[in-house]
Every structure is written in C-alpha cells, then in structure tokens.
Copies of this chain bind each other. A is one copy, B any other.
Amino acid sequence: MKEILREIGMISRALDSISNIEFKELNLTKGQYLYLVRICEHPGIIQEKLLELIKVDRSTAARAVQKLEANGFIEKREDPQNKKTKKLFPTEKGKAAYPFIKKENVHSDRMAMDGFSEEEKEMAFSLLQRIRKNVEKDWEFVKKGHKRIY
C-alpha cells in the first residue's frame, strides 16, 4: 500500500508553516489566511459552510472568524431571512489583503509542481480532488461521532 497520507501530511505542514510565516506581514496570525481567502471568494458564506471548505472544527472556525472580524478583515451581516446565521463578507481591508495571499498561494503551487509537465499538473490536481472527495466522506462520518470499521 502506497503511503500517500504521510506525503500529504508532510506537504501540508510544510506549506502551512511557510504561509504562516509569510502572512505575518499582513498581520494575519496562524491559519487566518485560510478563512480570509474563502470569504473573499465566497462573499456571504456562512460559518458552517466555511468550516466544511477548510475541514476544521466548528469551534476553531468560530474563533478564527471572530478574530478576523475583530481585526477588521471581515464583517458579519445579519440575514433578514434567518436569525441564526450571519453572512460573512470581506471588508475593504480584507479585500486589500486578498491579492497578496493569492499571489503567495500561486507561487507555492508553482513551486510545489516544479518540474511537472502540464499533463502531470492536471493529473496531480485531478487525483488530489478525488482523494479529497473520498476523505471528506469519512471526515463527516467520524466528526458526527460514528466509528469507522477496519
């Protein structure tokens, strides 16, 4: 069995570590860039959907969003249709941070696939997307308190 998990874990921790160092320049603390980009790309998204995009605990997302709001990167807007949820939008400050984050991410993607042909890049993306879809099923299952059998 090919141990792809380990490779993925290593890549993810390394990349995340790099990003966190680089985004200190924007006064974004650990992990916050993850939330901010998604809110910029999905203006009006609610917290629950956001956490599903990122794959993080509900409480973690709640606090990351709180902090992003406190620091003026995003704002929560009431939904007249729904008293429970709040829609999340980037502020001007948040929007201003977006291009830098995006540029960094694009650079990292390029660097990560350095030496890849176009076909290999396509292949990598498509395989990873399939892996992600497989994994998110189990994630939701386990997060809901169910037990995997193996």
Contact = CB atoms under 8 A, between A and B. Distances in A.
Contact of A55 (B13, B54, B107): B13
Interface string A1-12: 111111111111
A136 B10 contact: yes
Interface string A37-62: 00000000000000001111100000
- This chain: copies in complex: 2
A15 interface: yes
Report the contact-size class of chain A (Cβ under 8 Å from the partner). Answer: 35 or more
Interface of A: 1-18, 21-22, 34, 53-57, 103-116, 120-125, 127-132, 134-136, 138-139, 142-143, 148, 150
A142 B14 CA distance: 10
A132 B18 CA distance: 14
